[in-house]
Amino acid sequence: MKPIKSNLRLILVNMEITLKSLSARPTWLIDNTIVPLIFTLVALFLFYLAELDNFIPYAVFGSGIAGMWATTLFGAGNSLRVERILGTLEYLLICPTGLWKNLFGRALAFSLLGLTVFGQALTLAVFVFNVPIIVSNSVVFVVAFLLTVVSFVALGMLLAPLFIIARSAPNLMNSLETLILVFCGVTYPVSVLPPLFQIVSYTLAPTWGMEALRFTVSSICLDGIVLRNVVIIICLTFIYLIFSKKLVNSIEKKVRLKGGLVRI
């Protein structure tokens, strides 16, 4: 019980410090929401022009989640890049609490900020495109939404080791951002993708999360399918978190042996 409490406390403290350090530079939020906002506008406008019925599940939820992912990935990735530039990455590594908990706290902090981007998408949809947001089952929506956010955080944690060793983090962030958005089918169903891509899509937890979110605006009773999706998301999220911990520990060891951490 004690280790769980202390680990949880560590993660929450990291989250708090990350959020406080961001408040020292409030323009960060504007900087990191410009690109997601434009993606949101393009998606919303495309659906608006096509006058499709599925505006909310795909355009609104999809573009909001896409923006949230972009904010989480760029925020967490950039924080490691800044540590590297400032020369504090090594101190992070030698900290006895372990790098993984530190990264997880940061990823949670940035995903929290990413929720503001989701809020932007909802605001644009309601006030600019005059689309009422009606959810048939709000409890299921909240559960599916939270699980989708956590699955993105877990996926981000799986990719985090790359930012520790990559010299060109911004370019890596750009490629990973759109790669995940393409495969997870955030603004379109996975069936639109070629069959080979679909196989990859179904190994990603956010794909199932997005599907569950879309069911919450459906008037048909799909509780069994939503439950199936929830179970798959939880299982995949746990797998990502376990693998990410092993990867971070392995990279930590290699980096200490090679001594090549700080190369800008």
Partner 1 sequence: MRALVFEILTSYKALFTWLDKRTYFLVKIVIPFFYIAFFSYLGKFVAGAEGMKYAAFGNAILLMGLNTVAGVVISIGIEKTFGTLSPLFITPANRFRIFISRAIFHAIDGTFNVMIGLVYAILFFEVELSLIQLGQILLVSLLTSFTMMGYGLLFGSYSLYVRDVGMVMNAAYFILMFICGVNFPVESLPEYVRVLSYIVPLTYGLQVARAILSGDYITDCIPLLIFEVLWGCVMLIIGYFLFIYFENKLRRRGTLDVI
**Residue 196 near partner 1 by CB under 8 A:** no
**Residue 187 near partner 1 by CB under 8 A:** yes
CB of 112 vs partner 1, minimal distance in Å: 21
Judged by CB under 8 A, the residue of 68, 181, 232, 255 near partner 1 is 181
**Residue 208 near partner 1 by CB under 8 A:** no
Count Cβ atoms below 10 Å from residue 170 Cβ, excluding itself.
Answer: 12
Asked if residue 166 lies in contact with residue 145, where contact means CB atoms within 8 angstroms, the answer is no
Q: Which residue matches tokens 């896409």?
A: 66
Q: Which is nearer to partner 1, 51 or 138 (CB)?
A: 51
DSSP 101-151: HHHHHHHHHHHHHHHHHHHHHHHIIIIIS------S-HHHHHHHHHHHHHH
Q: Which is nearer to partner 1, 1 or 34 (CB)?
A: 34
Structure tokens at 75: 């925020």
CB of 52 vs partner 1, minimal distance in Å: 7
Q: Which is nearer to partner 1, 181 or 247 (CB)?
A: 181
Q: Tell me which stretch binds partner 1 (CB under 8 A): 27-35, 98-106, 150-158, 219-227.
A: 27-35
**Residue 22 near partner 1 by CB under 8 A:** no
Asked if residue 106 lies in contact with residue 14, where contact means CB atoms within 8 angstroms, the answer is yes
Q: Is 121 exposed, middle or buried (0-12, 13-18, 19+ CB in 10 A)?
A: buried
CB of 197 vs partner 1, minimal distance in Å: 9
85 by DSSP, 3-state: which? helix
List of residues 6+ apart from 115 with CB closer than 8 A: 68, 149
Asked if residue 208 lies in contact with residue 232, where contact means CB atoms within 8 angstroms, the answer is yes
**Residue 104 near partner 1 by CB under 8 A:** no
Q: Tell me which stretch binds partner 1 (CB under 8 A): 29-37, 200-208, 223-231, 254-262.
A: 29-37
**Residue 45 near partner 1 by CB under 8 A:** yes
Q: Which is nearer to partner 1, 27 or 219 (CB)?
A: 27
| Per-residue contact flags (x/-) with partner 1 for residues 52 to 71, judged by CB under 8 A | x-----x-------------
**Residue 198 near partner 1 by CB under 8 A:** no
Asked if residue 70 lies in contact with residue 35, where contact means CB atoms within 8 angstroms, the answer is yes
CA distances from 99 to 3, 103, 200, 247, 259 (A): 16, 6, 29, 11, 16
Site for partner 1 in 154-173 (CB under 8 A): 167-168, 170-172
Task: Give CA–CA dist 141/145, Å, rounded.
Answer: 6
171 by DSSP, 3-state: which? helix
Q: Tell me which stretch binds partner 1 (CB under 8 A): 45-53, 110-118, 141-149, 198-206.
A: 45-53
Residues that bind partner 1 (CB under 8 A): 27, 30-31, 34-35, 38-39, 41-43, 45-47, 49-50, 52, 58, 167-168, 170-172, 174-175, 178-179, 181-182, 187-189, 192-193
